[in-house]
A and B are shown apart, each in its own frame.
Chain A
Amino acid sequence: MNQPKLNLSPKVSDEVRKTTCYMCACRCGINVHLKEGKVAYIEGNRDHPVNKGVLCAKGSAGIMQHNAPARLRAPLKRVGPRGSGEFEEISWDEAYQIAADWLGPIRESNPEKLAFFTGRDQSQSFTSLWAQAFGTPNYAAHGGFCSVNMAAAGIYTMGGAFWEFGQPDWDHTKLFMLFGVAEDHDSNPIKMGIGKIKGRGARVIGVNPIRTGYNAVADDWVGITPGTDGLFILSMIHCLMKAGKIDLHYLAQYTDAPVLVNNDEKSPEFGLYLRDEDGKQLVMDRVTKKLTPYDQPGVKPDLSATYRAKGVTHRPVFHKMAEMYLSEDYAPEAVAERCGLPANRIRAIASELARVAFEEAFELEHKWTDFRGETHDTMIGRPVSFHAMRGISAHANGFQTCRALHVLQIILGTVEVPGGFRFKPPYPKPATAHPKPHVGMTPGGPLNGPHLGFVHGPDDLALKQDGTPARIDKAFTWENPMSSHGLMHMVISNAHAGDPYKIDTLFMYMANMSWNSSMNTGGVMQMLTDKDENDNYVIRHIIYSDAYSSEMVAYADLILPDTTYLERHDCISLLDRPICEADAAADAIRWPVVEPDRNVKGFQSALCDLGAKLGLPGFVNEDGSQKYADYADYITNHERRPGIGPLAGWRMGANGLQHGRGGPNEGQLDSYIRNGGFFAEHIPDGANYYKPWNRAYQDWAVKLGLYDSPQPYLFSLYVEPMRKFQLAAEGHGDRQPPEHLRERIKATMSPLPIWYETDQQGNEGFTINALTQRPMAMYHSWGSQNAWLRQLHGHNPLYLPTKLMRQHGLSDGDWVRVSSPHGEITVPVMEMASLNENTVWTWNAIGKRKGAWALDKDAPEATKGFLLNHLIHELLPPKADGMRWANSDPITGQAAWFDLKVRIEKSEAPREARPEYPPLKSPVPQAPENLAWKVGK
């Protein structure tokens, strides 16, 4: 044979620089290979706690994002009308001067006139600090339309949430059930985990109307009717309780199931916990038969005994649960039709949960001591785990549904135990250990505390003296009392309406509000361009920061161009959303593995400059000079409290470098770079399960600086703050809800999880559920500018189940008019059999506006791609009461975009998908036609 001689050991690259991916929110470690100083190849970092070497399609395509023709090149000042895309490039000095001329005066007179909202921001602990220093109460990130129901329900119930804040115990779980998860937090860890447990033969159950991705590989698929997951879960709770397949020991020891609740309907404390003088929850001790604080050493809390004093009977939470969930209203037969599932299927799944949790229980040989001082020789494991995300949370009943799922986990005794669901530091952390919302303004001064937090009753609402909302998004008001992440989706419509008040400047970061990040996209474009009687824009000034030529750029007056993720400093901080694992606390950095070749600046560095120019406290030194030269300087030198900074690794102690607590270390970022861009500190064996109640974990967390004192707590099957809002609605207390909200608060704020049908008024004739999912290879709007990724998802058909295809006489490639009570789109269809028979869906954020993202005007993203957003309004249809109610969860304000109902009709093929919008003028040059990308020889 005459084979060519190959060089089998070519040089791979000149240098590898290790940083953190930003192609989605997963924050994997990446090895960036450089040749001749340019980015040549990106792979996963094997040492990294998140991805352990693997990398998804987005991550590997980072080179195309870094070099995307859509990158902005310099600060921009709008010169044409808003929405036209006409800009001129200006200097940073001029950009800062324009911003300071708008922001300086409002800070001195009325700081609430600034609304500062960030989108896919990974620096919220920094951007919120800036907003706090400015003094405006109007700050939040995008959690309100993302998945606040999931976060808030988790934290109120068990001091931690799914999202990326916890994970199944992949090494021990034998049954993994996931609800409403497409490509979601976490991205790679879920894929790695599913691969791992399937390799062991564990069973995966996927609950999702759509059988793609994780649901496609699930052993059992439950194609539930959207919005009914809560009913399905409560029915399984019914089955398990009725059969006694519940972990009574766990419920008694670690939850509020035995905590006594006032049972006197006439009492102003009806439904509240019985507490001692120190505010501690009280239980009956089975041994002493006495009222005892829950945390007393040796207490055996009774799930059954009642307590009567001063004519008032107190019953344990568990009594209330039995009363509620043993009701035949939750029997499988009673819920089956609404859920679209056979009753026997519900029973079969509940049985399997019971079988695995109790028949396959096991013990790990880890000795541990609980918060009451009792030492246990082993850790009991229940190998059933769950994960859930937006599919259950983006409904107007999503908070209660997420709560129901946590209650299911807890009665099975499978949270924070081997084989179950585990928290990642800084969780567990109960709602009471988080801040409350702050809205105290002083013109010219900082806000009186952090913006966002957890309310514990009407007194914590963010209301002005006259009872009107203090925040522009109406977060923490009677309309949505527990809106822990704010309501970014309501900011533009409220600001446009001047309700609750007018603002002057809208300042946004990485949030594509004039396109895929808003409900009612067309309406938002109108609101952003509307003028008042004086020919001024209703929203007077808009400042926007983005790295790319997104649709939102065209709707701003001033653009601060951000860098790509390979050109910037960042910290993925324990003060924010860190990269921890269940077995380790960890944080990470980004650093400029290459320098920008354009006149752009990391947004956080720009905020350091702008903060100094405005003289914001914390951003200037005593002499008025700029405090932080850039974001790297802040990351290194800022201290949130003494000894606690943005990064926990390599801090300066009395005797040299140490982790967790310590002073600033000028070489800290270099230490991170030497360590591959991250820091990880492992939780000792014996401290790594039962964390909320485990002394060894609590002490470790204090030592590391996660909290300043041990914070053991009971899981809240019963959320007492919700009962406090109900009590107010029933007429108790000084702070009273407006009359029109009274009944809704009583009905929805049940302290034990309930299910209710979401508001269907106006939906008559619209009977088909319409959903979106994120493709695994794309993240929000970012993927379409990526030459490699857009070849995977260049346009998005509307997937229809076989039954609807037949019913409407449709074939693949035909077009349909899809209408909702709010709007209409005309789009191409494709048949999909593995789909709930009354649900249609599409990939989200593939559709693009012409002229954006440096795509040609005939790009399929713009001609055939589409958004369902046009069909979803931020308000529900008008009602007989003359009011427009928010299309949001009444508890948290979570945008209810999965409540969408539509009807479809076959349509002639239009020239392009409808609605059509005129092209934007691109602020960046035309993209190259062909790519033959090779760096170096």
Chain B
Amino acid sequence: MTTLPDNTEKKLGLVIDLDTCVGCHACVISCKGWNTENYGAPLSDQDAYGGNPSGTFLNRVHSYEVQPEEGHAQLIHFPKSCLHCEDAPCVTVCPTGASYKRVEDGIVLVNESDCIGCGLCAWACPYGAREMDMEEKVMKKCTLCVDRIYNENLPEVDRIPSCVRTCPAGARHFGDLGDPDSDVSQLVAERGGVDLMPEQGTRPVNKYLPPRPKDTMPEIDVLAPFLEPVVQEPGGFLGWLDKALEKL
């Protein structure tokens, strides 16, 4: 068993806006590219050009249809990666200490040299956010791009996770959710950001911003004045036009 820190100096994490995520998978592939080249073993792909391709991804986008009580069904795109929980069951379950939560920023990482690939952490994670790399036989997970966010070889503006940097719709935000004044904390407060599956008691750091209500355009009664005909009698339009032009 591995212990979690009592508290962390920062709570770095992501805020994901489900109102604007168009489901394009940009974050998925950018993550794959960066993390194949960087922290730990490359993210491998099995049967890459074959009948059952299957690879390691630290971030995936799922799509769910939602049927409101009234109105049209909706499609919600739902990106999901490690939520860097404060009470991370994947850490406490680890038999070797390979899984750990960093004291300075709360990032949950796997020390690959200590990982025996037993898979207990993946079993313990209620979100399915960990993936065993089938080539290296070690557990892989979102590192919050720990090798980017402090990286002095990158321009300061780029010291953010690759998924955030690449997101075309601007639906992903990164920052310290432990600081109530941070941009991300403010955004969560403004938009009513939520925990994923709070009943699991994991206290995830990442937050999701819910979609705005949809299909709410007012019924015509409210908007009717905007379409009030300018003339009632047929053929009167050109008369109206003349008068309207006089006023220009």
List the interface of chain A (C-beta within 8 A of B): 1-4, 6-12, 33, 35, 40-44, 46, 51, 53-61, 63, 69, 183, 187-188, 191-192, 194-196, 198-199, 203, 205, 211-214, 216-221, 223, 239-245, 248-249, 252, 286, 302-304, 318-319, 322, 326, 344, 347-352, 354-355, 359, 776-777, 785, 787-792, 794, 832-835, 854-856, 858-860, 863, 927-936
A354 and B227 contact, CB distance less than 8 A:
yes
List the interface of chain B (C-beta within 8 A of A): 3, 5, 19-26, 28-30, 32-34, 36-38, 41-42, 44-55, 57, 65, 67, 72-77, 97, 100, 102-103, 109, 111, 113, 135-136, 146-147, 150-154, 157-158, 162, 165-171, 211-212, 214-220, 223-224, 226-230, 237-238, 240-242, 244-245, 248
The interface residues of chain A lying within 8 Å CB-to-CB of B150 are 8-9
Complexed CA–CA distance, A382 and B191 (Å): 28
B146 and A6 contact, CB distance less than 8 A:
yes
Most buried by B among A1, A35, A789: A1
* Distance to closest chain A CB from B89 (angstroms): 18
B24 and A932 contact, CB distance less than 8 A:
no
The interface residues of chain B lying within 8 Å CB-to-CB of A9 are 147, 150-153
B217 and A352 contact, CB distance less than 8 A:
yes
* Distance to closest chain A CB from B96 (angstroms): 12
Complexed CA–CA distance, A54 and B34 (Å): 14
Taking A216-B23, A303-B241, A932-B136 as contacts, is the C-beta distance between A834 and B72 under 8 angstroms? Answer: yes
Taking A7-B147, A12-B153, A791-B54 as contacts, is the C-beta distance between A55 and B30 under 8 angstroms? Answer: yes
A-B contact pairs, 26 of them (CB 8 A): A1-B3, A3-B100, A3-B103, A41-B37, A43-B162, A56-B168, A61-B29, A63-B33, A195-B167, A196-B170, A199-B20, A213-B23, A217-B22, A220-B214, A242-B230, A248-B245, A348-B217, A349-B217, A350-B227, A351-B223, A351-B227, A352-B226, A834-B75, A859-B51, A860-B51, A932-B41
A787 and B48 contact, CB distance less than 8 A:
yes
Taking A351-B224, A787-B53, A856-B51 as contacts, is the C-beta distance between A1 and B21 under 8 angstroms? Answer: no
The interface residues of chain B lying within 8 Å CB-to-CB of A934 are 36-37, 41-42
Taking A54-B26, A244-B244, A834-B73 as contacts, is the C-beta distance between A219 and B168 under 8 angstroms? Answer: no
Taking A6-B146, A57-B25 as contacts, is the C-beta distance between A1 and B42 under 8 angstroms? Answer: no
Complexed CA–CA distance, A244 and B229 (Å): 7
Complexed CA–CA distance, A927 and B20 (Å): 38
A833 and B169 contact, CB distance less than 8 A:
no
B217 and A859 contact, CB distance less than 8 A:
no
Question: Which residue of chain B has its CB nearest to the CB of A305?
Answer: B242
The interface residues of chain B lying within 8 Å CB-to-CB of A183 are 24
* Distance to closest chain A CB from B29 (angstroms): 4
The interface residues of chain A lying within 8 Å CB-to-CB of B47 are 856, 929-930
Interface of B is mostly: loop
Taking A8-B151, A347-B227, A933-B42 as contacts, is the C-beta distance between A788 and B165 under 8 angstroms? Answer: no
* Distance to closest chain A CB from B79 (angstroms): 12
Complexed CA–CA distance, A1 and B101 (Å): 10
The interface residues of chain B lying within 8 Å CB-to-CB of A318 are 241
Complexed CA–CA distance, A794 and B216 (Å): 36
The interface residues of chain B lying within 8 Å CB-to-CB of A790 are 49, 53
The interface residues of chain A lying within 8 Å CB-to-CB of B102 are 3
A220 and B217 contact, CB distance less than 8 A:
yes
Question: Which residue of chain A has its CB nearest to the CB of B212?
Answer: A219
A248 and B238 contact, CB distance less than 8 A:
no
A216 and B51 contact, CB distance less than 8 A:
no
The interface residues of chain A lying within 8 Å CB-to-CB of B28 are 57, 792
Complexed CA–CA distance, A191 and B109 (Å): 32
The interface residues of chain A lying within 8 Å CB-to-CB of B72 are 211, 221, 223, 834
Complexed CA–CA distance, A794 and B111 (Å): 33
Question: Which residue of chain B has its CB nearest to the CB of A790?
Answer: B53
Most buried by B among A42, A792, A936: A792
Complexed CA–CA distance, A55 and B25 (Å): 10
A833 and B244 contact, CB distance less than 8 A:
no
A788 and B32 contact, CB distance less than 8 A:
yes
Q: A8-B151, A56-B25, A214-B22 are in contact. List 10 more A-B contacts (CB 8 A).
A: A42-B33, A54-B165, A56-B166, A191-B24, A194-B20, A194-B169, A243-B226, A319-B238, A347-B220, A347-B224
Complexed CA–CA distance, A355 and B222 (Å): 11
B73 and A56 contact, CB distance less than 8 A:
no
The interface residues of chain A lying within 8 Å CB-to-CB of B230 are 242-244
Complexed CA–CA distance, A788 and B151 (Å): 26
* Distance to closest chain A CB from B28 (angstroms): 6
A249 and B248 contact, CB distance less than 8 A:
yes
Taking A54-B168, A192-B169 as contacts, is the C-beta distance between A41 and B34 under 8 angstroms? Answer: yes
Complexed CA–CA distance, A352 and B150 (Å): 47
Question: Which residue of chain B has its CB nearest to the CB of A26?
Answer: B168
A930 and B75 contact, CB distance less than 8 A:
no
Complexed CA–CA distance, A794 and B54 (Å): 10
* Distance to closest chain B CB from A253 (angstroms): 10
The 10 closest A-B pairs by CB, nearest first: A351-B223, A833-B73, A858-B51, A191-B168, A927-B49, A195-B169, A195-B170, A244-B230, A776-B24, A934-B42
The interface residues of chain B lying within 8 Å CB-to-CB of A788 are 29, 32, 45, 55
The interface residues of chain A lying within 8 Å CB-to-CB of B44 are 930-933
B20 and A195 contact, CB distance less than 8 A:
yes
* Distance to closest chain B CB from A906 (angstroms): 22
* Distance to closest chain B CB from A921 (angstroms): 17
* Distance to closest chain B CB from A291 (angstroms): 17
Question: Which residue of chain B has its CB nearest to the CB of A58?
Answer: B29
A198 and B20 contact, CB distance less than 8 A:
yes
Question: Which residue of chain A has its CB nearest to the CB of B171?
Answer: A195
* Distance to closest chain B CB from A7 (angstroms): 7
The interface residues of chain B lying within 8 Å CB-to-CB of A196 are 170
A213 and B24 contact, CB distance less than 8 A:
yes
The interface residues of chain B lying within 8 Å CB-to-CB of A6 are 109, 146-147
B48 and A355 contact, CB distance less than 8 A:
no
B218 and A348 contact, CB distance less than 8 A:
yes
Complexed CA–CA distance, A57 and B5 (Å): 36
* Distance to closest chain A CB from B248 (angstroms): 5
The interface residues of chain A lying within 8 Å CB-to-CB of B21 are 217
Give the residue of B103, B111, B170, B217 whose beta carbon is less than 8 angstroms from that of A4: B111
Give the residue of B5, B48, B165, B248 whose beta carbon is less than 8 angstroms from that of A248: B248
Most buried by B among A60, A249, A348: A60
B26 and A326 contact, CB distance less than 8 A:
no
The interface residues of chain A lying within 8 Å CB-to-CB of B109 are 6
Taking A794-B53, A932-B136 as contacts, is the C-beta distance between A55 and B26 under 8 angstroms? Answer: yes
Give the residue of B49, B154, B168 whose beta carbon is less than 8 angstroms from that of A188: B168
Complexed CA–CA distance, A191 and B24 (Å): 9
A304 and B242 contact, CB distance less than 8 A:
yes
Give the residue of A57, A213, A856 whose beta carbon is less than 8 angstroms from that of B49: A856
* Distance to closest chain B CB from A50 (angstroms): 11
A302 and B37 contact, CB distance less than 8 A:
no
The interface residues of chain A lying within 8 Å CB-to-CB of B147 are 6-10
The interface residues of chain B lying within 8 Å CB-to-CB of A33 are 37
The interface residues of chain A lying within 8 Å CB-to-CB of B228 are 243
Complexed CA–CA distance, A858 and B46 (Å): 15
Complexed CA–CA distance, A858 and B53 (Å): 11
* Distance to closest chain B CB from A65 (angstroms): 11
Complexed CA–CA distance, A777 and B38 (Å): 23
Question: Which residue of chain A has its CB nearest to the CB of B44?
Answer: A932
A216 and B74 contact, CB distance less than 8 A:
yes
Taking A195-B20, A199-B20, A859-B50 as contacts, is the C-beta distance between A245 and B67 under 8 angstroms? Answer: no
Give the residue of A199, A349, A833 whose beta carbon is less than 8 angstroms from that of B67: A833
Question: Which residue of chain A has its CB nearest to the CB of B149?
Answer: A8
Taking A43-B165, A931-B44 as contacts, is the C-beta distance between A354 and B226 under 8 angstroms? Answer: yes
Complexed CA–CA distance, A355 and B223 (Å): 8
A10 and B151 contact, CB distance less than 8 A:
yes
